[in-house]
Structure formats: structure tokens, C-alpha cells
Amino acid sequence: MKVITIDDSSTMRRIIKNTLKRIGYGDEILEAGDGKEALEVLENNEVDLIITDWNMPVMDGLTFVKTIRANSKYDDTPIIMVTTEAAKEDIITALKAGVNNYIVKPFTPDVLKEKIETVLGKKD
């Protein structure tokens, strides 16, 4: 399975990458520091899952999700947002923009695994 993790914090990307390996989704993990960089990575790569932060410079996670969802190529690509934003209106905004599931930082490997299984289950 190919996953892309998008976060402006290199520490968070590392943590997510490491956690994905631990929970059995570490076959191939791509990285990007913001939404724009992620779009560039996706131009040359097909992924099975997108894990994105919200607050990032250049292009934030919400704009990235809206951009991705506007392209029919990514209709079925599951997106999980991992962010510090915990306000109800933010969660609703993200879900309406096309995010399939939502995780508030800090997260545990169990939570990430559960959410991935949920979104992948929907895909099938």
C-alpha cells in the first residue's frame, strides 16, 4: 500500500511514517511538507491513502483536500486529516471538504490504525 503523509513538521512526518510501519502500512510512504508539494508528488505517484495536516504554509490541508476532491481521479482516495484543530466547526468544515476521517493530535498508533481500517473499509 502506498501512503502519502503531508505535514510541515518533519518530526510529525517522521512519527506518522514510523507509526504506519508499526501498524503494518509501511510498504511505501511518500512525504510532502505542504499541500502544493503534495500535489507535485501526486503528479508522478498514485497513492492508496492520504494523511494530511491542516495548518501548513504555502497551501494548507483544507485547500489541498478541496483541490484533490475537485479532480475525479481522486474521488475514491481516502483522506485522513491529522491536526491540532479540535473545534466542532473545523471538524465539520474538513469533513464537508472531502476528508474521510479526522484525528486530533496527539494521536496513538491504535487510533491511527482504527481510522485507516475504517476509511479503507469504505473504499472496498
Partner 1 sequence: MAQNEIDDLIAEFNKADKNGVDKVIEEFSSEEIPMKEKVEEPIKDDILEAGLDEAQEKLTGVRFEEKEHKVIDKLDEINKESEDKVNKLFEKLETINEELDNTEQLIQNIKPYLEKHKEFMEFFVEHFPKTAVKNNYEYFKNIISMVDDMESRITTIRDNTFEAMDILQFQDITRQKIERVMSVIRALHEYLNNWFSSSYDSMPRARVAHTIIDEDKKEKVDQEVEDIIKQMQEKGEIQ
Judged by the rule CB under 8 A, the positions of this chain that interact with partner 1 are 7-12, 14-15, 18-19, 22, 54-58, 60, 83-88, 90-92, 95-96, 100-109, 111, 122
Nearer to partner 1, 9 or 45 (CB): 9
- Nearest Cα to Cα of residue 65 among 55, 79, 76: 79
The one-letter amino acid at 93: T
Residue 33 beta carbon to partner 1: minimum distance, rounded to whole angstroms: 10
* Residue 56 backbone phi and psi in degrees, to 5: -140, 150
How far apart CA 64 and CA 34 sit, in angstroms, is 8
Residue 100 beta carbon to partner 1: minimum distance, rounded to whole angstroms: 7
Nearer to partner 1, 45 or 93 (CB): 93
